[in-house]
Amino acid sequence: MRADIGQQQRYAHSVRVARIAELLARAHGENTRRARLAGMLHDLARLYPADRLLAECATRGISIDDFERQHPVVLHARIGAELARERYGVTDEGVLSAIRAHTLGSPDMSRLDAVVFLADALEPGRTFDGREVLLRLARHDLDGAIRGVLESSASYLRGRGLAVAPLTTAALARYGAPGADAIPPNGTRMEDHFCPT
């Protein structure tokens, strides 16, 4: 698995995400094994260059939208789910969904999706202001923590004149983040705030 994930830093990040996902799953009555597995495998394609991500989508017949074509790095979540299925035999659709949703979020995240999304954003290797507070909140209020993560990201991006992906904008609206309408629908991705390359 370490060879598939790549560089040591990315592997260490994946281990931390798996541990936080397990912690949050336990706190919310979710299956800890499923959360740990999704956390461990969430970044299988994160180090793929843009041209490879686009090629992997083309090979698999995965349709991509304009935002994804302009920002192919976000495709690593969708390709990662396919790699989890192909290389590790993961057939649990809940685990695959959590891998797919970890980068941009979604307005209709399951609790497992939310656990992995938050684990990726709030693992101890992240250093943004308020991370610890949001992690404490996530232990008892998934929606509140998602709202906080999305608000933090939106504030960061707005301050730089950048935008978020349409899927993230929809998640902002769903989770009641203030000012979601003020964020343009195209531009950079939320992950730039939490997961710089």
**What is the mean pLDDT of the segment spanning 118-139?**
95
**What is the mean pLDDT of the segment spanning 55-77?**
95
pLDDT of residue 169: 87
Alpha-carbon distance 152 to 41, whole Å? 25
What's the mean pLDDT when you consider all of the chain? 87
Alpha-carbon distance 99 to 111, whole Å? 13
First to last CA, the chain: 21
Name the percent of the chain lying above pLDDT 70: 84
Alpha-carbon distance 147 to 139, whole Å? 14
**Domain segments of the chain as ranges:** 2-194
pLDDT of residue 137: 97
Structural contact between residues 47 and 55, judged by C-beta atoms closer than 8 angstroms: no
pLDDT for 184 beyond 90: no
Structure tokens at 102: 């970890």
Structural contact between residues 12 and 22, judged by C-beta atoms closer than 8 angstroms: no
**What is the mean pLDDT of the segment spanning 114-130?**
95
Superfamily of domain 2-194: Hypothetical protein af1432 (1.10.3210.10)
152: pLDDT confidence band, cut at 50, 70 and 90? confident
Alpha-carbon distance 48 to 45, whole Å? 5
**50 versus 195: which is more confidently predicted?**
50
DSSP states of 62-89: ----HHHHHSGGGGHHHHHHHHHHHHH-
State pLDDT tens for residues 87-110. 999 999 999 999 999 998 999 999
pLDDT of residue 1: 52
Phi-psi domain of 101 (left: phi exceeds 0; alpha: psi -120 through 50; beta: other): alpha
